[in-house]
A = this chain, B = another copy of it.
Amino acid sequence: MLKPTQVFSPLAEQLEPEGAFVYLDLAAEARRKGIDVISFGIGQPDFLPPREVVDAVKEALDRGFIRYISTLGLPELRERIASYVSEKYGVDVKPTEVAVTVGAKAALYMAISLLTRPGDEVVVQDPAFPTYECVVRHAGGRPVFVKLREENEFRLAREDVEREIKDLHRVRGIVVNSPHNPTGAVLSESDVEELIELAKRRNLFIISDEIYEDYVYEGRHRSFLQDPEWRDYVVYVSGFSKTWALTGLRLGYVVAREEVIRALDVFATNMYSCPPAPLQYAALKALELGTSWFKSYLEEYRRRRDAAVEELGRIPGVRVVRSRGAFYLFPNVRELMGRLRVGSTDELARRILFEAGVVLLPGTAFPLRGGDGYLRVSYVLPIERIREGFRRVREWVEKVGG
């Protein structure tokens, strides 16, 4: 008989590990074997935020801010986020419509769990950040996958969603992410408007993960918050991890109607009491400084993307969309797999890691079929390393592919 600490809830078992972290472990294994690894695997920026942002935490510690704070974060931070987001997107967000969370991930976990009832169907992009569909299932819901088409630059198209849900009767919402992990796709203004129009017509929520909102290289980011009726349909999620390169401080936030924020207050009370107190001051300082310092980094990231696209184009059997946002590319490697007689995307990624010393995540880590035959490239490293990494892959392909 199993012992009581060996029997787990089927709802908890809906949660799955993240492919990105699996590959971090594999990369460590490769390094232990003496392989010099170039990693396109991790989704975090490689620059440092302005010095003052980190110093603000040190000052907070000196001032003794090591006690519980409000569950939804410091009131002054919620106020500042409200005005920041309002100004950024020309909307009118009130402080009571803001919650600070332990990373954008806690925001997503809570928002999806709150809005998905057991038996509900929720549209998830395929490929997508794996947490979305795991948490839908964890909440007792059923993810409805809408495949992103390469020929549409991986942008989620209303007609594709409509086709998938037209015969379904328990569809409750859509989890959307633009700029998009893992493809780098950026929804256009009309993409966003059409999705909101569909949400209104079918009475669906839109949980919009906009954590990469400042990483857009052509055109402008359109937020789902920009719809005048956002309170009725939209839960907006963002944070300080990407723009301010503060992944390790776990500073996320949600903008949503007040009832949702009140429910998240109760949720977070039971989940972690409050976000860590001293780190809140990094966020406050970040918003005080604004993002003008960020422009030069954005330019650098655009140059990296272009270098990566160029190098990928030189590898036989690989083609790539020049995605407009985030810091990801999603090259199609199906022809390469055929040429090398590699059976699965995961096998290809493992061989590239252990034989060429380069981490590229298999598209299937995000999380199902839509990423089959694709690799995710995170170009968060210097241009010369990017070129060196893809040169290694090209040489490996030329060697093993005859």
Q: Which residues of A contact B (CB under 8 A)?
A: 1, 3-13, 15-18, 21, 42, 44, 48-49, 54, 57-58, 61-62, 64-69, 71, 102-103, 105-106, 109, 113-118, 131, 134-135, 138-140, 172-173, 199, 203-205, 231-235, 245-250, 256-257, 259-260, 263, 265-267, 269-279
Find out whether the CB atom of B7 lies under 8 angstroms from the CB atom of A257: no
Tell me how far the C-beta of A3 lies from the nearest C-beta in chain B, rounded to whole angstroms: 4
Specify which chain B residues have a CB less than 8 angstroms from the CB of A106 in the assembled complex: 271-272
Query: Do A203 and B4 touch across chains, with their CB atoms under 8 A apart?
Result: yes
- How many Å lie between the Cα of A64 and that of B205 in the bound state? 39
By the criterion CB–CB under 8 Å, are A270 and B134 in contact?
yes
Contact check, B248 vs A21: say whether CB atoms are below 8 A apart: no
The answer to whether A205 and B115 touch across the interface, beta carbons within 8 angstroms, is: no
With A3-B203, A5-B115, A15-B267 given, name 6 new contacts (CB 8 A): A7-B115, A15-B266, A15-B270, A66-B248, A106-B271, A109-B270
Whether A9 lies near B232 (C-beta < 8 A) is no
| Nearest residue, chain B, Cβ from A273 | B105
9 of the cross-chain contacts (CB-CB < 8 Å) are A4-B173, A8-B117, A10-B117, A17-B266, A105-B271, A109-B271, A138-B270, A248-B278, A250-B275
Contact among B58, B64, B260 with A48 in the assembled complex (CB-CB below 8 Å): B64
Neighbour of A117 across the interface among B9, B273, B275, B279, CB < 8 A: B9
- Whole-angstrom distance between the alpha carbons of A8 and B267 in the complex? 12
The residues of B that contact A5 with a CB separation of less than 8 Å are 115, 205, 231-235, 256-257, 259-260
Q: In the complex, A235 Cα to B8 Cα: how many Å? A: 13
A259 cross-chain contacts in B, Cβ below 8 A? 5-6
**Smallest beta-carbon distance A211→chain B, Å:** 12
Chain B residue contacts of A172, Cβ below 8 A: 4, 7
Max chain B Cβ within 10 angstroms of own Cβ: one of A259, A265, A266, A277: A266
Give bound CA distance, A13 to B263, whole Å: 8
- 8 smallest beta-carbon distances between A and B, as pairs: A248-B277, A4-B205, A3-B232, A67-B248, A66-B248, A9-B117, A102-B272, A12-B114
Residues from chain B with Cβ under 8 Å of A7 in the complex? 115, 117, 172
Residues of B within 8 A of A66 (CB): 48-49, 54, 245-249
Q: Once bound together, how far apart are the Cα atoms of A71 and B16, in whole Å? A: 13
Which of B9, B54, B204, B277 is within 8 Å of A114, CB to CB? B9
Measured CA separation A270–B266 after assembly (Å): 19
Q: What residues of B have a CB within 8 angstroms of the CB of A173 in the complex?
A: 4
C-alpha spacing A272/B18, complex, angstroms: 12
Which residues of B are found within 8 Å of A15, using beta-carbon distances? Answer: 266-267, 269-270
A276 cross-chain contacts in B, Cβ below 8 A = 102, 248-250, 276, 279
